[in-house]
Amino acid sequence: MDLTLKIWRQASANDKGRFVSYKVNNVSADSSFLEMLDVLNEDLVIKGEDPVAFDHDCREGICGACSLYINGRPHGPDRGITTCQMHMRHFKDGETITIEPWRAKPFPVIKDLMVDRSAFDKIIQAGGFISVRTGGVPDANAIPIPKRDADLAMDAAACIGCGACVAACKNASAMLFVAAKVSQFALLPQGRVEAKERVQKMVAKMDELGFGNCTNTYACEAECPKEISVANIARMNREFLVAKVAAPKDK
């Protein structure tokens, strides 16, 4: 198939950036979206032009490196998959495809379609862990965990940290990302011990980094390639409330 690509080009964080159109011809319908971009980039390199920069690595939907806002949607038109898992058969011959980076203040553009998502790491560093050190922990079967809780924790833990939830949200809220981590630990006995401190620290960090508020549009859930449920946000709100109420007593 032959396609026109309208791609956001931006030389660096300080550059203003603009759309540039490219034609790519003879794209195989069986190739993946990123492979289609590889073909474009090989062409650009041969012509001596600067190839389009984008993040990617595993190309199987698990590392969370790939991003891309395709025709106005994070990770493109198909539900429940990442950009790297999308194949060109989802597009029509002759189509024009618009490709942009994640647009969110806390994720500044580095170059072209590459953005800086280190804000997510900072939120985790603020409290997204259980404070155990290596060694000296109890036997893995010492504390039984109801299967239902373990399964729900796993549902939340499936988050790949790609940032689609933030990119999809008109407020650039990171609630789904934070809620997924808070929920995973809140559901497990090992995580309960620090549950109150954790939720407060992570939410404070999220606010400090400039992520917006959640106004319950649920665009995050709709665009999440791992289909993480907004039920996690409700759980986090409960955790947060409990932590706040308990806070004075703790002092």
Binding site for ligand FES (CB under 6 A): 56-59, 61-66, 82, 84
Strand pairing report for 96-100 and 73-74: unpaired
Partner that binds at residue 67, options another protein, ligand FES, none, CB closer than 5 to 8 Å by kind: none
CB nearer another protein, residue 60 or residue 215: 60
CB 39 within 8 A of CB 27: yes
Partner that binds at residue 66, options another protein, ligand FES, none, CB closer than 5 to 8 Å by kind: ligand FES
CB nearer another protein, residue 34 or residue 214: 34
Q: How far is the CB of 163 from ligand FES (least distance, A)?
A: 11
Question: Where does the chain show beta strands of DSSP type E?
Answer: 3-9, 18-24, 69-70, 73-74, 96-100, 109-111, 114-115
Beta bridge partners of 109: 115
Q: How far is the CB of 127 from ligand FES (least distance, A)?
A: 25
Partner that binds at residue 221, options another protein, ligand FES, none, CB closer than 5 to 8 Å by kind: none
What φ, ψ does residue 79 adopt, rounded to 5°?
-85, 150
Question: Where does 36-152 show beta strands of DSSP type E?
Answer: 69-70, 73-74, 96-100, 109-111, 114-115
Q: How far is the CB of 85 from ligand FES (least distance, A)?
A: 7
CB nearer another protein, residue 57 or residue 207: 57
Q: Checking phi first, is residue 210 left (phi over 0); if not, alpha (psi -120 to 50) or beta?
A: left
CB nearer ligand FES, residue 76 or residue 191: 76
Q: How far is the CB of 63 from ligand FES (least distance, A)?
A: 3
b/e code 134-146 from CB counts within 10 Å (16+ = b):
eeeeeeeeeeeee
60 alpha carbon, distance to own chain's centre? 15
CB nearer another protein, residue 15 or residue 105: 15
Q: How far is the CB of 244 from another protein (least distance, A)?
A: 22
Partner that binds at residue 82, options another protein, ligand FES, none, CB closer than 5 to 8 Å by kind: ligand FES
